[in-house]
Structure 1
Amino acid sequence: MNLLHRTLALSLLATAFSAQAAAPLDAGTKQASRLEQSSSYVVTHDGVRLYYKDWGPKNGPVVTFSHGWPLSSDSWESQMLFLASQGYRVVAHDRRGHGRSSQPWDGNDMDHYADDLASVIQTLKLKDVTLVGFSTGGGEVARYIGRHGTSRVKKAVLVSAVTPLMLKTESNPGGLPLAVFDGIRKASLQNRSQLYLDIASGPFYGYNRPNAQPSQGLIQSFWVQGMQGGHKNTYDSIAAFSATDFRPDLKRFNIPTLVIHGDDDQIVPIDAAGKAAASQIKGAKLIVYPGAPHGLTDIHKDRLNQDLLDFIKQ
């Protein structure tokens, strides 16, 4: 009997230790499940996972940011940190195929980009939003308004934006020749890593101008963001930002709009873009940054931050 008792006791102890050991694992599994469900991703109707940032007080006025090519939401961090510190809720997502979002083979066009922005806005239940778009992101904002209207939009800001149309056509003689964009496509296929370095160390930030003082930090940040994106996605996006005609979208703007552009923008020239867009949007205000390059979100971030704040507060 003593041996039997000892055997039963040992069995009970073993069962107890097993249960104690299993408990933390079960809790950890449940916690991981909760984290997955609350992670910073929105899933679109076609199954694309969009990474997003949601900073600042959740009850603050909402500002969304749409980034440029071939970057990610990280390119807006200076503006987001500044506005969040001022009490605004700031949201920015990585465009499909860019940054930490999914890299779908298809759908790398402005219609999908705009619908993805709508997915973020609807999923997070955002209202009275100020939409801010830089470069390609400016086209995304315009196409969003063209496809989804302004029921959730309070204001819009186009910064160094590709609107109304970058490509030279019969109806858009001031645009850039197709050969320019074919050259970007060719360079992307040959060595996109070098292409991104060349763009960042040259015209994007104006570092090819006399007496410029290049920042290796900015150049490397541009390169890292670009290389995070999918090769096919960033390649397709060249057509999206260059050949999409946003003129019909701009006619649907019925909210206060601010257009900001540098007059030394070598990527998206101001005459064919900023000035043209401002003239086509009813009541738009144009602010020109003298001598500013395309990448003014970094080169002139302090002025841009203040201009954004002043416009949003109006």
Structure 2
Amino acid sequence: MTAPATTLETDKSSTDTRRPLSVFGLDFVGLVVALFFFAWSLSPSLIPREWYFQGLISGVTGIVGYGIGVLVAFPARQWIAPRLTWWRRRHTVRRIAEVVVALVAVGTLLGSLLAAAEWQNEIRALMGIETTTGFAYLRTGLVSVAIFAALLYIARGLRWVGRRFAEFLATRLRVPVAAAGVLAPVILVLAVVVFVDQVLLASSSMAARIVFADDNNSTDPGVEQPQIPERSGSPASPSSWESLGRQGRTFVAGGMDAEQLTELNGAPALEPIRVYAGLEADGTTDEQVQLILDELDRTKAWEREILVVAGTT
């Protein structure tokens, strides 16, 4: 009766050795790298970030770091950890490491967020924007954790689908097991890329245009349609005033004119040229680019000494 018990204990010990070290149900190495990426994403930005936008960025950055950590740790876990069965105190070290990393994780989250709040407030003060409190910025952490968890479970769900698909290829379509193990993830990745590019991004872009349509169709106070031919949206321009959008109308109507530049420089100045194509312009992106080129031809912008091309942020 003792032999089966000994065998069972040995099998249990071997299984425990192969079990990845985890904290909060997350891979140890993956969590460490994810925390590093999370803190990195909170470094000072060029312009202030709202707490929810920073939360989105940090959540995505954290899951990328987690994936890199799991990938890097895989060889050691696969080929080195099984050889450590002789180390009797490995279970004690495991428990201590789990507690330490859990405390470090919480401390890193709170410390990074409070430091990021100070950095963001410095940028806000420089730009004359109302500051926020450090504790209010902790909402960023909640958003980051939610995004991280959602993406993690999506990735695990895709992994489960990939395994089931590999089994389907091997059992139903008689594909060799090794080939099925390679084909399944490749096909799954291609399907995800097509879905994100053709469905998710396209639909989100269209949804954003619908949501912000009213704002885009408005005009800032004091902005009036230019009448000089050097500006898009003028009567001489094929790019209509209505198609420019709110920011486009502000752009073509702004800036100094020739008279102001002459007074400023003390020498005769040419009328500045400002051309713009809005999202409401008819046609595809290529046709909108061609509209810009036609405007540069029409206004003889190529003859000027300086040509500045500005894309949207």
Which TM-score bucket, shorter chain as reference?
A: under 0.3
* Higher helix proportion (structure 1 or 2): 2
| TM-score for both structures, normalised by structure 2 | 0.21
Q: By percentage of residues, which structure has more strand? A: 1
TM-score (norm 1): 0.21
Q: Which is greater in Rg?
A: 2
